[in-house]
A and B are shown apart, each in its own frame.
Chain A
Amino acid sequence: MNFNMLDLVIIFVYVVFIFFAGSIVKKYVKGIDDYLVAGRSMGFNLGLISLMCTEIGMITYVYFAELGFKAGLASLMVAFPFIVAFIFLGKTGFVIKKMMEMKIMTVPEFFSKRYSKGVRFYLGILMAVGGILNFGVFPGVEAKFINIVTGIPEEYLLYTMVGLLTIVLLYTLVGGMVSVIVTNYVQYVLLSFGMVIITIIGFNAVGWDGIVTAVTTQMGDKGINPFHPTFFEGEFGFGFIVWQILMQISILIGWQAVSARLFASKNSKTGQKIYTWSALMFFARAVLPVFWGIIAFAYYTKLGTASDMQGLDALPNLIKDLMPHGILGLIFAGLLAASMSTYASYLLSWSSIVSQDIVGSVIRFVTKKDLSSKKQLQLSRIVMAIVMIFIIWWSLFHKVEGYLYFYLNMTAMLFIPGTLISVALGVYWKNARTLGAYLAITFGAIPPLLYLVFPKEITKYASEMGYGGFLVALIGMLIGSVIQNKFMPNSVRETI
């Protein structure tokens, strides 16, 4: 065990506090609306905190640190598309303003209003598959992180996963989104403290010269220049930047766990303001953990153990080896809490897609009536339990090829290009039609599907597959809409 009594007391007190806060706010949760979007009662500062807490878990730090550990300073380029995407959406209100004015709760709702219920159902399936495959690697990666930091032997990985998910399930069922928002506040205190303190202690251990020397001697120019050998051929060059900007814009519009935060804000102005200021937060959310990975690389290069270490293990080892007791407990409690809120939000988000947009649609189609709010809540909880069982299984048996960050991006890409193109053209192009949406979603899913099915062969073409997905989705939308407008101009909306 790597913790001493002080660390254990800090972690215990914190977990007890989180559950206590969750049970206190539970009384405010009455129906599905409260449960899913906290009754749209979130202001700017809480919105920003909540968005950060949702999008930061142990896994976030691990995949960014892996990039830094394997690709050096050049991989810091990953942070810049976040700034572009957030400021663009925050300042222009592109798409999101319209969606918030329509008071929608999930992205697929837009599809049923603008296109048809059939498109909503189809997108819901891809969203659920992509989202759950994405979520599916969380328990394995995070349980391994916990085992390394705490010193629990690796053979107990399954027990750590089950323990982690049990805590999360209890936490989520206790209060839903209201408790998530309240406890997020406290979590953010620890999280922000932890992020700054790891950076300072880590940096002090190796120094800037140590970092630059380790990166340039071990990785060469590629480790420091993202455009090596040229701007168009570099691993973090033109293709990567275009893909990531499109990807991040789409995530902010169509990623349920993120957009749920947007829909939970008081009005569209607050939502836009949250996105604008999130630019700086998300920049740091990428820069700092990538930098920790680079620090870990320099530190373990100095010790001569870097070549034996896997990229995903770099950060937990660095935390275990460098953080003093007390601070180790605080950081671990913050990370555990961060993961709990990420899990809670992702569970709520993906299970609401499955329960409302897939199962709910089928039940409505069969019985010809809507589910009551209580039944929806029950269904949402059953789906949550099923999702949990699946992600444990997936974590145990799926091995990720290449960077974990790219795998996570590609699972999201299963629905993201089709969503962005269909939503954007649906809002701004009156000739966008249902057939176009179907083709955009289908075409956009093909490149990421190839990446996920043939990871060994296609890993090196990740960026091309990335922006290619958006390009073919656009082509699909144009072809489908032109065909429908030409041959079926008055076609009846589909029903399911």
Chain B
Amino acid sequence: MGFWEIFWAISILFAVVSFSILSLSVLYKGFQEVKDMLTALEDAENKSE
């Protein structure tokens, strides 16, 4: 195997693994942020009324 073949194999593997881990992490923590954002907007709506 030449240099570029190894280099691209590592790059692709790194992209798949890092993307999977990071995606799971942001989806898990982002769920709470969705709820917080909607609550904040709803509170603002109630105050203005």
Known: A43-B33, A280-B19, A288-B16. A49 touches B5 (CB 8 A): no
- Pairwise interchain contact A39-B41, C-beta atoms closer than 8 A: yes
Known: A73-B8, A196-B16, A287-B15. A181 touches B22 (CB 8 A): no
Residue of A nearest to B2 (CB): A224
Q: How far is the CB of A210 from chain B (nearest CB, A)?
A: 13
- Pairwise interchain contact B18-A49, C-beta atoms closer than 8 A: no
B:6-28 near A, CB below 8 Å: 8-9, 11-12, 15-16, 18-20, 22-23, 25-27
Interface residues on B, range: 20 to 34
Tell yes or no: A189 within 8 A of B by CB. Answer: yes
Known: A39-B41, A192-B20, A277-B22. A291 touches B33 (CB 8 A): no
- Pairwise interchain contact B34-A182, C-beta atoms closer than 8 A: yes
Residues of B within 8 A of A212 (CB): 5
**A284 contact from B2, B4, B16, Cβ within 8 A:** B16
Residues of A within 8 A of B45 (CB): 27-28
- Pairwise interchain contact B11-A287, C-beta atoms closer than 8 A: yes
- Pairwise interchain contact A46-B18, C-beta atoms closer than 8 A: no
Q: Which label, helix, strand, loop or mixed, suits the secondary structure of the A interface?
A: helix
- Pairwise interchain contact B27-A192, C-beta atoms closer than 8 A: yes
- Pairwise interchain contact A79-B11, C-beta atoms closer than 8 A: yes
- Pairwise interchain contact B16-A185, C-beta atoms closer than 8 A: no
Tell yes or no: A178 within 8 A of B by CB. Answer: yes
Q: Which label, helix, strand, loop or mixed, suits the secondary structure of the B interface?
A: helix
Tell yes or no: A388 within 8 A of B by CB. Answer: no
A178 to B44, CA, bound (A): 14
A:280-328 near B, CB below 8 Å: 280-281, 283-284, 287-288, 291
- Pairwise interchain contact B37-A181, C-beta atoms closer than 8 A: yes
Residues of A within 8 A of B2 (CB): 224
- Pairwise interchain contact A41-B23, C-beta atoms closer than 8 A: no
A:169-217 near B, CB below 8 Å: 178, 181-182, 185, 188-189, 192, 195-196, 199, 208, 212
- Pairwise interchain contact A178-B5, C-beta atoms closer than 8 A: no
Residues of B within 8 A of A25 (CB): 38, 41
**B18 contact from A44, A208, A226, A280, Cβ within 8 A:** A280
Residues of B within 8 A of A73 (CB): 4-5, 8
- Pairwise interchain contact B27-A189, C-beta atoms closer than 8 A: yes
Q: Which of B18, B26, B45 has the most CB of A within 10 A?
A: B26
Known: A25-B38, A28-B41, A43-B37. A224 touches B5 (CB 8 A): yes
A-B contacts, 8 of them at CB < 8 A, read A25-B38, A28-B42, A28-B44, A188-B27, A208-B9, A224-B4, A284-B15, A287-B15
Q: Which A residues lie at the B interface, using CB under 8 A?
A: 25, 27-28, 38-39, 41-46, 48-49, 73-74, 76, 79, 178, 181-182, 185, 188-189, 192, 195-196, 199, 208, 212, 224-226, 277, 280-281, 283-284, 287-288, 291
| Further pairs besides A48-B26, A188-B30: 20, Cβ < 8 Å | A25-B41, A41-B37, A44-B33, A48-B30, A49-B27, A73-B4, A74-B4, A79-B15, A181-B34, A182-B38, A185-B27, A189-B27, A192-B19, A192-B20, A192-B27, A196-B16, A199-B16, A226-B4, A283-B19, A288-B15
Q: Which B residues lie at the A interface, using CB under 8 A?
A: 2, 4-5, 8-9, 11-12, 15-16, 18-20, 22-23, 25-27, 29-31, 33-34, 36-38, 40-42, 44-45
Closest 3 CB pairs of A and B: A284-B19, A45-B30, A287-B15
